[in-house]
Every structure is written in structure tokens, then in C-alpha cells.
Structure 1
Amino acid sequence: MNQPYGLPAEVEDLRQRVRAFVRDVVIDAEPVPGDRLAAETRAELQAAAKAAGVFAPHAPREYGGQGLAIEHWSPVFQEAGYSPIGPSVLNCMAPDEGNMHMLELIATDEQKSRYLEPLVQGRERSCFGMTEPHPGAGSDPEALLTTARRVPGGWVIDGEKRFISGAVGAAFCIVMARTEDDGESPAGATMFLVDMDNPGVRIGRHIHTVDRYIDGGHPHVHFDGCRVDDAAVLGGAGLGFRYAQVRLGPARLTHCMRWLGLARRATDIALDRAQTREIFGSPLHELGLAQNLIAESVIDIETADAVITKTALLLASDPRAGSALSSVAKVHCSDAVFRIIDRAIQLCGGDGVSDGLPLAQYLNEVRPFRIYDGSNETHKWAIARRASSARRKAVASGEPFQGVAVERID
């Protein structure tokens, strides 16, 4: 299940090299379904990816990446996602990939040297500290409870985060904390770069989930009188919610890219089974019920690919509008990839739900996406609200027959 993209020659060359590397090197090293990728295996595969010139495709060349523009991420990320460990091996996995993108855009030169460079090169991992125990921030970031108060020469952070993906073994965390108007900066939220070996940081209870391929798990992280200096502020004090959109729009879209690649893999597995399995005297792929399942999956793959491509182009030209459309992409793709893998399981029958095939684990990997990066229900609420606002503005401006366009939404 592969299709041409009409990419620039250098991007198509990278896509083909990623495709070959994943199929020739990475797939053979995949752990059995349900197991995690061993750290030493990951390190060996990352070294091979660097040697093959496919490591960190989205990251700046000056720090060791391939310098791919965001509008061209999708075909390469889909190729990486064809293996569930591919994004980790190529260092384009969440949460590191989203943190790299944000650091590239808003970090100071000193912060880039200290945090971005080792992250791109795979020498360190990171995490992003937004989500909190109820009633704190989750799908509603405005509910943020973690605080940071100014002290001479820096800040003191207090609060508890939960479901902090990648926290175990991470070198640093980008922490969102609520800050007050102190005459130097406005009230709101502020992002801080916090080293995980800071004495005020403590890993708490681990949360066991059905997914297995994000390094570092999803534990609670406590910040107890965690002191950082002024150089730890990322972007600007009081501007954290604005900067969060720099990260969250592309980050939710790259989840779509990676998992659509995995959905293509699941469909290939099902198509291979349909070619070789006979039932009621006919090959499975010739039976109408099987053809319907296959056709619906192809439709889901193509529509998901299309909305990802449109959103990536919009993020490159108009990040605010692209972030709005990424909600549409996130909802559609998270539903679509689940349906695709579920159909693949159905086509493979009993083997599909066994550990003889990886499909059941694939389903476990993609199911949380309807919750991660904001629940689909929260995104639908935002989508509907924006659509209603766009329609009111169109009518007020004398353009009552203009269709709802995300790029016109404020």
C-alpha cells in the first residue's frame, strides 16, 4: 500500500531511503507483540539510521537532522511509522519530535545548544509537562494548577503532572506552570526548561497503558519547590498558552502521520492474508464482504492522507489556521486508523487477535490517540464552535453562501 506523492527530488530520495531502511533493517529488529524495544537495540538501530542518513528527518541540519520542511514531513513520517519502532529509531517519535520543533522555533541560542542539539542527535530524551491530575489541566489547558513564582534570580515551581509521556529516563522536561502578573510579565502560563535531575523533580506513580512504543512510559511527575533560574524560561513569561499552540498543532498532526503508516502496514498484512486464504471455495479477496472491508480501509487511508497533507501545507503558510485544521485531522485520523487496523484483524480472523500477528498490538497502540493530544470530543466541540463563528462572520460580511473554511476562522 504505497502511492506516489509528486515530491521534490531530494524529499522523494529521503522517503525512499527511509522506506528501504525501515523494511530492510528496522522490521527485523521489532520486539514480539507486547514487548518494548530494548535500550541497547534502540541505540544500535539509531546508529545505523545515522549512517544511512535518515536520522531525525524533521530536525535542523545544523544540529544533526535532515532539515525536512513541515509540508514534507508526512510521506517520510508515514514510512517511518510503517514499523511501530520506526519513529523511535529515526528519532521522530513523540514527545521528542514535538519538543524539537518548538525549541527550534522559540528557544534562545543558548537553550538550543543545551537542549535541542543533544535531543536531535539522540543523546538525550525529553518530556512535556502539561497534563495534571483532576481537576487540573487535561483536555482543558486553562485548568492549569501547577504554579511558578518569582524569587531572586529565578523561579520556584510547585505542582503535580500526570501522564507525562517519556518522563522515565528523560534528561529534561518542558513544564507548563501558571504565573502571576508581577510587574515584569503578564499573568498566564509560562514554559520552563527543567532538568530532570533537579532536586525538586520527582518521578511518581507509573501509569500502565495498553501502548508500548513510547520510551519512558507515562508516569506522574512531581515538582516540589523546584527552583530554576531565569534562563529556564522558554519563549517568554506569561506566554505559555500561545507557545503551546506552536507545539500542539504540528504534534497532533505528526501522530496522524506515524499511525497512518502503521495502518498501511496493517492493511498490507490483511491483503497478503486475503490473497492466500481460501474460504467457501474462493480466495478471500474475491468475496464481496472481504472486498468491502478492503475498500473501506483504502478510502480511510486516502482521506486521512489528504487531510494530513492539507493541514501540513497550511501549518507551513499560516500556523494559526493550520493548528485549527489539525483538530479536524486529529479526529478523522485517530478514528480512521483504528477502523483500518480493526478491519485488518477481522480479515485475518483468529490469527488477527493472537500474538502470531502484530495487529492486536497495533490496535492497542492507536486506541489511545482518541484521548492523547486532547480527547476527540473536546476537538469536536472546538471544531463546531469555530464553524459556527465562521458562519456568523460570513453572513455579517455579506457573503452568506461561502462555505465554512477553517483558514478563515479566528
Structure 2
Amino acid sequence: MSASVLRAYRASILHFTANPAQQGDDAQYYEYFGDGLLVIKSGHIRDCGDAKELLASYQAAGLSLDVTDYSGKLIMPGFIDTHTHYPQTDVIGSYGTQLLDWLNTYTFPMEARFADLDLANDVANFFCDELLRNGTTTAMVFATVHENSIDAIFNAANSRDMRLIAGKVMMDRNAPENLCDTAQISYQQSRDLIQKWHGKDRLSYAITPRFAPTSTEKQLELAGQLFAEFDDVYLQSHVAENTDEVAWVKELFPWSRSYLDVYDHYGLLGKRAMYAHCIYLDEQDRQRMADTQTAMAFCPTSNLFLGSGLFDMNTAQVMGIPVGMATDVGGGTSFSMLQTLNEAYKVLQMNEQSLSPFQAFYQATLGSAQSLQLEHKIGNFEVGKEADFIVLDLTATPLMERRMAHTHNLKEQLFALMILGSDRNIQATYTMGESRYQKHAA
């Protein structure tokens, strides 16, 4: 293709410009073009708007467009998964335990196998392909305690031009011996991996203490030291997922005011820190997260599957705590963000709250980008942002085709999509303007 020819994609287009929960009833927090055009230049957004208007303006300017026509489909920004475990891919959907038993029965035995680089590479490549097949273009990912597990997932993501944040698990107690490092080893290996991978292409490193019970105080102290040492690295962990877990933390850290306070004590809160679950927090904990802009990852499918509890979205929104959506594979039961939004709606219904379809798709795109401090790069179609986008087929199944025929507006279409949708609705996935997945005709 000539360098003067720009790529463009024609379909209905939807993206968000603000958080619906923080706007008035009449505020415009999204842009929707029934017949839209997305124009890409060098992997970034050049234009987004009405197709006929843009086509006419480009023609008048003497600029050629190579247009891929997805008419009848919906283009949205790629989904963003703010918490998931790639080593748990092969134990997704395993029967019958809650959190702490899940770790011992399924997670730890599987993670021990990741000392084998060939296995790690195999799972990492499958995992990244599965993300793309489900329309996810950015993810924040746990690896294992093994350094090569990070090499595997970063290489797999980088070869697909995905934006990925990942880290080696730091874990020096209350786990099998073959999965334990030491405080000093975890510090040094994490530091080496930061220098090797952080900021390379679209990759970022996350300091990754698994959760407070599997780290000594010295390890948490050194994790905090790392977080302070590198200005723009991330931190990821878990907090307040399960009542037995919360009680265990109280036994292990009797001096702490709360589970979250353990992390706070060691300097592990702040922007670019992401904590999964955040179910059993009190008002002081939530205020501390708001004050430090520490983010929550809402993991509805795993919270239901492991019987953990119900997330409080409304309080987080009112207090201004950043919230990202997360699949939490493999305690989570699907790679699909559509299925994740489906379960999020049900979790909030059980908690006497509601999740509008606009709020849901904002959370899966721009909201998650904001929770990761990445809204200047991804999350919507503002000019100059990275061209990660997906093409959705709203009539991918006979049931959905029939249901869509009875919708009356965009809100109803989006709600049907998030409740009935799955990987089958992903027609295509693009990262940096390049096709990474195309659904084959049946």
C-alpha cells in the first residue's frame, strides 16, 4: 500500500469521553456514529466521525483512503482487562473450592509447572490469542514466581503488539517450597525484570506481591522500596476478597488496622497500584484508596465462582476511586469481557445496585484505561491515541439477531449485547491498527 494511502474502517462507532456516573442526566459522555469512519495513520487514530462527512473531506483534500467496510457491525475501543492470571488458563472452570482451597488445590500445583519455559511459552501464546479472540487488547497480568514466566508472557504480547502490564509473583511464605523465593531474591529479580522489560514497546512492569499472607514483612518492605524506586512502574496484588482471607491477614499482621493497612504501611498504595476484589473494606480503607488514587479491579465472575462476595460499585464511584473491569482468569470463568459485564450486572443487582449498559462499556474501555493511568494512550478514539479497536457483530447468534430486532435504541442494544454476548460477537480485533484476529465464517 502506498505511504500516502490511509487505512479506514467503516461501521457504526461508539466510544466514551467521560464517566457516565459523574455526569448529569443531560451530559454527553459518549460519541456514537450510526455510519462512522475510523481513520488510522501509523498505528494511531487520525480521525473518527461521520463516514460521509469524513469521506468527502478526505476526497476534497486529495487524500486516498483504503476503506475496510464493516457496515452493519459496531466498532468500539479494545477491551481492557485490569486483573488476570495467565498461568491459571489451564485450571479455569475447576470444581468446588473457595479462595484459599483454590490456591492449594489448583493454582499452586499448576504454577509449579512454569519453571519449564516451553510450557510457559505455550500457555502465554494461547492466553494472548484468547484475549484477542475475546476483543481484549490490553491486560494487567500475574505471572508466577519464575523469571521465565515473565519472559514468556511479555514475548507473546509483544509479538502481537498488545499493551500488557505484568509481573513476577513475589512470594516467600505460606506456599509450597518450590514456589517460594526470598525477600532479597524477589527484590533483585523484580528489579532486573523491570530494567529488562519496563517501557519496551507497549510493555510495562508491575511489582507483584501475590497477597499479604504469602509475603513476609521484609518482602513487602522491599516491594514498597521498588515501587518508590521506579517512578512509572505498576503494582498489583489482591485485597479483601474472602472473609477467611481477611481473618488470616489479621492473624499474620496483628498490628495492622485492616488488610489494606498492611499494604499502606509498606508504601504499596498510589497511582498505578491495582488491587483485585476490594470486597471487605471499611469506610476508612475506601477513603484511603480514594485519597491515594489506588485502583480497584472488579472481578465479578471469580467473586461469584469462588463464593467470595459482592462488590460495592456505587460507593467507589461516589468516593472517586478508580475502578477497572477484570476477568480474573482462572478463578474467573471467562476471557470474555462481555460475559464479565453480564456477571457484573448480576453482582450489583444482588447488592441492590444497578449497572447501566453505558456505564458497563465505559468501565470496560475508558474507565479501565483511567484506572491504569493509560487514558492518554488508549480507551477511546481521541486523535493521536493508539489504534486498538474491535468489531462487534450484534447478531452473531440466532437468538441475538432475534433480540436485536426488538430493541428500540442504542441503550437497549448494548444491554442485550452485554447480557447475551460472548466471544462469538467479536468479528475482528486490531492492535495499533493491525488485524490480530478475524472471525472465520461458520
Higher helix share: 1
Same fold, TM exceeding 0.5? no
Normalised-by-shorter TM-score class: under 0.3
TM-score in terms of structure 1 length = 0.28
TM-score in terms of structure 2 length = 0.26
